[in-house]
Amino acid sequence: MLLPWQHTIFQQLQQCRRENRLPHAILLSGPAGIGKQALAEAFALSLLCESPHTDGTACGACHACAMFHAGSHPDLHRIGPEDTSKNIRIDQIRALIETLSLRSHYGRHKVVILNPADAMNTAAANSLLKTLEEPPPDTILLLLSARPSRLPATIRSRCQTLHMATPHPEEAASWLKSQLEAGQETETLLALAGGAPLTALQLAEDERLASRKQMLSDWLQLANGEGDPVRLASNWVKPDAALPITWIYGWLTDMIRLRASQTTRLNNPDAKATLQKLAEELDLQRIYGMLDRVQDAMRLLDSQVNPQMILEGILLYWRNLPRTAKNN
């Protein structure tokens, strides 16, 4: 999907297309985390779509669009490092060249997205040269790189370079804000990411995962009669009291599923063992009682009640639930 700061560059590409001067090899350069892949995907889709809008964007409704969104359009080839390798290997490029020598499946373009192009080792880059020079008809190659200077000059000289800049800070901040939970610090994250919005979003997700993991460990401690609910509530409430309550809700519903021996479709598959253990220590009725209490808390969050007190109440209740002694 096209990101808000990519409309101008997308329209430049569409202009070239309308004027029949689209280069067959484009090197999209620009810093990591600004959405080069998103732009390449949006442009590829616009080339494959059977009835694009007048501004060039894909219709979203045709067979080609449906196949693209299902991840299975046969005329779109995404090449990147495979498995644990950091490199794009020569056999990947050879296989690509062989596929490109065949006609397109749907009589439109064949599109290649090579990302990151600078991951091609020398042999792979050399084997691509001839294709860059004389590509098969209707083939468009999009080479993406945050470090284009690492590409052999022979590759660069055969591509038309299109540079993508870091988006304007205000545009980046407003997009990032729309992607984050309330209370997360947009400006700090963007600064840490050097202004790259997708990197900032990744940082926020990593941070959220880390804090969820910490909270689950606190939650387990409380069940073992350790830890102080009042102190924990004061930590958990920042930056957003709704988040831990949502997580608790997810843990409890998973515990109920696990008690019913239902192990698929868990909210927290990564915490299955911990939640299973916690579920087995409790009477099912009590888990449901706790769930009611959490639902009440979710409603209270919209009221004037102090969120920290709401959390304290939940954590105290959780710690004091009667549990069966283990191993008997």
| In the complex, minimum distance from the CB of residue 60 to Zn ion, in angstroms, rounded to a whole number | 6
Residue 71 or 322: the one with the smaller Cβ distance to Zn ion is 71
Q: Exposure of 126 by Cβ count < 10 A (0-12 exposed, 13-18 middle, 19+ buried)? A: middle
Q: How far is the CB of 137 from Zn ion (least distance, A)?
A: 22
CA atoms within 13 A on the CB side of 25: 18
Cβ atoms of residues 158 and 25 within 8 Å? yes
Of the two residues 58 and 180, which places its CB atom closer to Zn ion in the complex?
58
User: Which of 65, 233 has the CB closer to Zn ion?
Assistant: 65
Structure tokens at 270: 């990564």
Both structure tokens of 221: 């401690």
196 burial type by CB count under 10 A (0-12 exposed, 13-18 middle, 19+ buried): buried
Cα gap 69→51, rounded to integer Å:
16
Which two three-digit tokens encode residue 248? Answer: 């608790």
Specify the residue, 49 or 248, whose C-beta has the smaller distance to Zn ion.
49
**Both tokens assigned to 13:** 């590409």
Least Å from the CB of residue 122 to Zn ion: 39
> Closest approach of Cβ 24 to Zn ion, in Å?
22
Element holding 29 (H helix, E strand) = strand 25-29
- Taking the complex as a whole, how short is the minimal distance between the CB of residue 73 and Zn ion, in angstroms? 11
Strand ordering across the sheet containing 160-163: 76-79, 110-114, 139-145, 25-29, 160-163
To the nearest whole angstrom, how small is the minimum distance from the Cβ of residue 107 to Zn ion? 14
Please state the closest distance from residue 68 (CB atom) to Zn ion, in A. Answer: 8
If the CB atoms of residues 111 and 223 are measured against Zn ion, the closer one turns out to be 111
User: What CA–CA distance (Å, rounded) separates 286 from 282?
Assistant: 7
Q: Which is nearer to Zn ion, 51 or 324 (CB)?
A: 51
Answer whether 180's CB lies under 8 Å from 201's CB.
yes
Residue ranges binding Zn ion (CB under 5 A): 49, 58-59, 62, 65
225: left (phi over 0), alpha (psi -120 to 50) or beta: left
Q: Which residue number, 46 or 186, has a Cβ lying nearer to Zn ion?
A: 46
